[in-house]
Chains A and B, each alone.
Chain A
Amino acid sequence: MVTIHHYMTLSAILFFIGVFGVLYRRNLIVIFMSIELMLNAVNLSFVTFARYTQSMDGHVVAFFVMALAAAEAAVGLAILVMIFRNRATVQADDLRLMRD
């Protein structure tokens, strides 16, 4: 039988892979995709808890998270294109206007 532990462990693994990607990589596109992965891992835990508590609120919340992710993807990618147009770079380390 697949228990709640299986799903939650998978969710934790995916989330921390996403955390590692955000911390380690410097490419803005990869950081962006890592955030998407983290949102998905959280969605998995929402749906898992919905299944094991037999209440469907988790499905609705997962839908809200997806709508948020869609809005975030649209705005984030637009900002990315703007940065590339103005600065010709996608490396997070090159964006230090506020630091120096």
Chain B
Amino acid sequence: MQLVAFYIFAALSVLGAILMVTRKNPLGGAVALVVSLASLAALFAMLHAEFVFILQILLYAGAIMVLIIFTIMLLNLSREELKEPPVGKVKGLFILAATVVGLVGFIRVLRLLPEGTEYVAPTFGNIEKVGTMMLTDYLYPFEIISVLLLVAIVGVVLLAKKII
């Protein structure tokens, strides 16, 4: 049963990713990426990661994708502006071959991993536990991330101004 659910969501996420990479119009690609991210959220839930699941929906499929779609609509690109210079046949095939070889090699290496157990502790993935960890073991990274977000906000405001 779990395996069937896994295959459905895995297929959806790969399909969305492939559509995103191949669509000419970035708006269609963005919608495909939302599908991919949402099915990844389902996989996070299957992995007992409640906190990451909620954040994936809220932050990724919600906030970040809305930002990207807003930008695409704001730019309002015409058909000529979307036209990409064609990639040479040799170059395109080379890129495809390099990607596939990298993928196959990676999967080969992954086979060395132990299979892992089915056992999951009943408290595993508890949001309370994640929060405690974040404010004890990972306190300094947590603070640094908040400084990073502040810097990003200031930078964006500066960039978005017409005259600096």
Number of interface residues of A (CB under 8 A): 70
- Supposing A24-B92, A56-B125, A89-B81 touch, asked if A5 and B110 sit within 8 A by C-beta, the answer is yes
Q: Which residues of B contact A20 (CB under 8 A)?
A: 21, 95-96, 99
- Bound CA span A64–B43, Å: 19
- Bound CA span A4–B18, Å: 23
- Supposing A2-B3, A10-B14 touch, asked if A71 and B149 sit within 8 A by C-beta, the answer is yes
- Bound CA span A18–B40, Å: 15
Q: Which residues of B contact A90 (CB under 8 A)?
A: 75, 77, 81-82
Q: Is the interface of B mostly helix, strand, loop or mixed?
A: helix
Q: Which residues of A contact B111 (CB under 8 A)?
A: 5
Contact B49 A51, beta carbon cutoff 8 Å: yes
Contact A64 B14, beta carbon cutoff 8 Å: no
Among B95, B98, B111, B145, the one with the most A-chain Cβ atoms within 10 Å of its Cβ is B145
Contact A33 B68, beta carbon cutoff 8 Å: yes
Q: Which residues of B contact A27 (CB under 8 A)?
A: 26, 82, 84
Contact B124 A54, beta carbon cutoff 8 Å: yes
- Bound CA span A91–B75, Å: 13
Which of B14, B92, B129, B159 lies in contact with A13, CB distance below 8 A?
B14
Please give the distance in Å from B111's CB to the nearest CB on chain A.
7
Which residues of B90-111 are within 8 A (CB) of A? Answer: 92, 95-96, 98-100, 102-103, 106-107, 110-111
- Supposing A20-B95, A75-B155 touch, asked if A36 and B64 sit within 8 A by C-beta, the answer is yes
- Bound CA span A47–B49, Å: 7
Contact A43 B21, beta carbon cutoff 8 Å: no
10 contacts between A and B (CB under 8 A): A1-B2, A27-B26, A30-B20, A37-B17, A47-B44, A56-B125, A62-B52, A75-B152, A78-B160, A81-B75
Known: A27-B26, A56-B130. 4 other contacts (CB 8 A): A17-B14, A29-B29, A48-B47, A72-B152
